[in-house]
């Protein structure tokens, strides 16, 4: 589990059935036990133990009450084994397991323990830090218990839900509650393709990667985080919707080791009350397009700057992460129906889902000699923008992909966009290599990092 302030801690998933979901109609129905449901679903929820090797500085002042804090981080970096504990959900009889990236990401060893105490080594098929999802594979001699997916778009606020996981490492635990909110974005860990189910079922550290199921035992979400100030459950937990999880499983089975996501090529912001007034909207809704790449599929479909995207495939979108989620649950190559407001009129357009084009060529180069030796750079294109999460406005120029030696020590970082070197404009990677041959002792590098200009001056 991860803590974030107000403190978000990472945490949940589904099973088969088809009975109609309904509100209990009597005290008899309310008092019915969840035991049969838990007995069927719980075997598909597993405990996960992961080990990873991290580098830790070993200080000669370690243990010294006077100098340990003063010289923290001083000394050589030493490898150390870090353990993590979480939960996972078996999604197929042949051993496909889903968990959170923060539980198993970068792990060197992963053990999956079933409720019957069988243990398996697991390998990672696909892991994505942004969405905090990881798809694993275990091999067993017999078919494994597993949960089936429910269409998470059908989930409604007020539905009963059970969270199953391994909180605090004490063993499998089941808590009950309701789905208390939908379309929560910007509240959970990871860049998260921005849409979470919210539940008041108690979720705690160790629940990460466990299942959130409905009253029919179907997976509606993977528990990923909680909102807390104390470190414990305060009844506000978040789960990654089953529809997005299913897309990850599909790509993992297809052999992808990275999640292939549709490229929007636009930057937008949620319409608040002030923007709604300016656009003449009766209520704040939608996402206004504030910047757009010339090759964006939205531009090709006829949308323009200032248009407000209202819905995708009939589902309302009220934040950029929610819009990205709607695109992520559809395969690349599909076409989505976008409803938008343009010039006061509501329009519809078909937008093709494409991967970010790797054109113009990135022309990757590594400077091998001169003052800039050890500097790796590429030309910016949509694919590079997507990989390095550069702002949409950064549609051209040169970005740093690797830095070592003196340039690393002065502060240059991966993701920095280079503007000038010694007063000469940098437009392509060839310009960087040419600049490295410049003679002189005084150097200056100007660029952009996180939307802010920077300038480094140094002597050689």
The string of pLDDT tens digits covering residues 386-435 is: 889 887 778 889 999 999 888 888 889 999 999 999 999 999 999 999 99
Query: What pLDDT was estimated at residue 81?
Result: 59
Residue 62 in this model has a pLDDT that exceeds 90: no
Among 113-122, 165-174, 325-334, name the one with the lowest average pLDDT. Answer: 165-174
- Residue that is written with structure tokens 């466990």 in the block: 210
Residue pair 126/254 in contact by the 8 Å Cβ criterion: no
Distance in angstroms (rounded) separating the CA atoms of residues 212 and 201: 9
Q: In sequence order, which residues have a C-beta less than 8 Å from that of residue 278 and are 6 or more positions away?
A: none
Can you list the domains of the chain with their CATH numbers? 8-17+35-43+146-253 (2.40.10.10), 46-58+78-137 (2.40.10.10), 266-352 (2.30.42.10), 365-459 (2.30.42.60)
Q: Give the active site residues.
A: 102, 132, 208
**Confidence at 138, pLDDT banded by 50, 70, 90:** very high
Query: What pLDDT was estimated at residue 63?
Result: 55
Residue 192 in this model has a pLDDT that exceeds 50: no
Q: What is the mean predicted confidence (pLDDT) over 155-166? A: 94
Higher per-residue pLDDT: 53 or 213: 213
Q: What is the mean predicted confidence (pLDDT) over 358-383? A: 93
Q: What is the mean predicted confidence (pLDDT) over 222-238? A: 77
Q: What is the mean predicted confidence (pLDDT) over 364-384? A: 93
- The mean pLDDT of the chain is 85
Higher per-residue pLDDT: 208 or 297: 297
Q: What is the mean predicted confidence (pLDDT) over 207-222? A: 95
Query: What pLDDT was estimated at residue 460?
Result: 77
Strands (DSSP E) found in 252-374 = 266-270, 287-292, 308-312, 315-316, 335-342, 345-352, 365-366
Q: What is the mean predicted confidence (pLDDT) over 22-40? A: 72
Higher per-residue pLDDT: 90 or 324: 90
For helices 242-253 and 320-328, what crossing angle results, to 10°?
A: 40
Residue 58 in this model has a pLDDT that exceeds 60: no
Query: What pLDDT was estimated at residue 5?
Result: 38
Query: What pLDDT was estimated at residue 105?
Result: 86
User: 226 has which bridge partners?
Assistant: 9, 237
**Confidence at 7, pLDDT banded by 50, 70, 90:** very low
Collapse the DSSP code of 98 into the 3-class scheme (helix H, G, I; strand E, B; otherwise coil) and give the result.
Answer: strand
**Confidence at 27, pLDDT banded by 50, 70, 90:** low
Q: What is the mean predicted confidence (pLDDT) over 230-259? A: 89
Higher per-residue pLDDT: 96 or 189: 96
Percentage of residues in the chain with pLDDT exceeding 70?
Answer: 83
Highest mean pLDDT among 23-27, 333-337, 439-443: 333-337
- Residue that is written with structure tokens 């996981």 in the block: 165
């Amino acid at each position: 589990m991860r803590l974030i302030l107000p403190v978000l801690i990472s945490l949940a998933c589904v099973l088969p059935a088809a009975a109609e979901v309904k509100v209990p109609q009597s005290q008899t129905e309310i008092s019915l036990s969840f035991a049969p449901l838990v007995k069927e679903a719980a075997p598909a929820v597993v405990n996960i133990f992961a080990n990873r090797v991290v580098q830790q500085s070993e200080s000669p002042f370690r243990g010294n009450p006077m100098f340990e804090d003063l010289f923290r981080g001083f000394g050589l970096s030493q490898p150390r084994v870090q353990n993590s504990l979480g939960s996972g959900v078996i999604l197929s009889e042949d051993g496909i397991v889903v968990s959170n990236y923060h539980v198993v990401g970068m792990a060197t060893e992963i053990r999956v323990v079933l409720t019957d105490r069988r243990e398996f080594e697991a390998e990672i098929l696909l892991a994505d830090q942004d969405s905090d999802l990881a798809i694993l594979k275990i091999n067993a001699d017999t078919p494994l218990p597993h949960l089936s997916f429910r269409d998470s778009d059908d989930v409604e606020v007020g539905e009963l839900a059970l969270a199953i996981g391994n909180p605090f490492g004490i063993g499998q635990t089941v808590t009950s509650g309701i789905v208390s909110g939908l379309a929560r974005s910007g509240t959970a860990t990871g860049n998260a393709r921005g849409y979470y189910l919210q539940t008041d079922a108690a979720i705690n550290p160790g629940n990460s990667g466990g299942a959130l199921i409905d009253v029919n035992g179907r997976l509606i979400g993977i528990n990923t985080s909680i909102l807390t100030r104390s470190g414990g459950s305060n009844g506000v937990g978040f789960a990654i919707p089953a529809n997005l999880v299913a897309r990850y499983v599909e790509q993992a089975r297809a052999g992808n080791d990275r999640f292939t996501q549709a490229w929007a090529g636009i930057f937008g912001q949620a319409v608040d009350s002030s923007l709604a007034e300016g656009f003449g909207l009766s209520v704040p809704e939608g996402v206004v397009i504030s910047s757009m790449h010339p090759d964006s599929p939205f531009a090709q479909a006829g949308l323009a700057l200032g248009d407000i995207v209202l819905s995708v495939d009939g589902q309302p979108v009220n934040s950029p992460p929610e819009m990205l989620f709607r695109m992520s649950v559809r395969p690349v190559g599909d076409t989505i129906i976008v409803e938008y407001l343009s010039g006061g009129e509501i329009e519809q357009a078909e937008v093709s889902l494409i991967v970010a084009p790797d054109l113009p060529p990135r022309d990757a180069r590594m400077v091998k000699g001169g003052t800039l030796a050890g500097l790796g750079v590429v030309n910016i294109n949509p694919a590079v923008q997507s990989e390095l999460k550069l702002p949409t406005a950064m549609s051209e120029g040169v970005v740093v992909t690797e830095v070592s030696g003196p340039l690393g020590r002065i502060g240059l970082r991966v993701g920095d966009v280079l503007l000038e070197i010694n007063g000469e404009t940098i437009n392509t990677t060839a310009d960087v290599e040419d600049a490295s041959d410049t003679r002189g002792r005084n150097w200056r590098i100007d660029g952009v990092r996180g939307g802010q200009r920077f300038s480094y001056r140094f002597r050689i």
